[in-house]
A = this chain, B = another copy of it.
Amino acid sequence: MSAANLRARVRAEMTEEIKNVARRHLATDGANLSLRAVARDLGMASSAVYRYFASRDELLTALIIDAYNEVGDAADRAAATQVMPLGKWLAAGHAVRDWALVNPHQWALIYGSPVPGYQAPQDTIGPATRVILLLGATLGDAYQRGLIPAREPISASFAQELAPIAETFQAGMPPHVVADTLAGFFQLCGAISAELFGQLNKSVDEDRRGFFEYQMRAAAAAAGLS
């Protein structure tokens, strides 16, 4: 029994070890991850790595799923510390940004331009939507609590366009809440990516956190939450 588990346990440890080394390489060398270099660091032949990951893409996929879950966990944890929707909204945003600042290359992996030949498999779409679902739930909760004032309804065609996305959120969310959730999420992604990838002027690294919060508050205010 325990002997039977030996192989499985060693395999699980080895898989995790490979991912850890790969993450380290990702942090130093950037996105062009070399499987051979990872194998060298582990003191094993490059062909041996293929016993654990069928290809470089599959290793990248594993890292991507882990990254999505890490940032999703961070956002969930931060939101859980707050009671009011605006507090959850801001806490989640800061949590995502903090995680991105600590793990910039993993952020680039999931929210940057897609890796050249890489095609995201189905396994990734679940973890990928966690943050946006959290934001949607937060705004939806605010709407149900009456914290978001009534607004003239969005045009019918626009509402119909957003319907498939609205289904993945809470039932009964009006289209403008769905739209503002997406807009807020894109603002979040744009702000973090711009800060990370150097679009922002170098001289403003003093209190970027304040400017980030300014934007997240503006996104919440655009939705009617302030």
**Could you list which residues of chain A lie within 8 angstroms of chain B, going by C-beta atoms?**
29-32, 108-109, 111-114, 116-117, 120, 128, 157-158, 161-162, 164-165, 168, 179-180, 182-183, 185-191, 193-194, 197-201, 203-204, 206-207, 210-211, 214-215, 218, 221-222
**List of B residues within 8 angstroms of A193 by Cβ:** 111, 113, 189-190, 193
Do the beta carbons of B218 and A32 come within 8 Å of each other? no
Do the beta carbons of A214 and B183 come within 8 Å of each other? yes
**List of B residues within 8 angstroms of A222 by Cβ:** 218, 221-222
Do the beta carbons of A162 and B116 come within 8 Å of each other? no
Given that A179-B214, A187-B187 are contacting pairs, would A204 and B165 also be in contact in the complex, using a CB cutoff of 8 Å? Answer: yes
Interface residues of chain A: helix, strand, loop or mixed (majority)? helix
Do the beta carbons of A183 and B29 come within 8 Å of each other? no
Do the beta carbons of B211 and A114 come within 8 Å of each other? no
**List of B residues within 8 angstroms of A31 by Cβ:** 113, 116
Q: State which of B161, B179, B191, B201 has its C-beta within 8 Å of the C-beta of A164.
A: B201
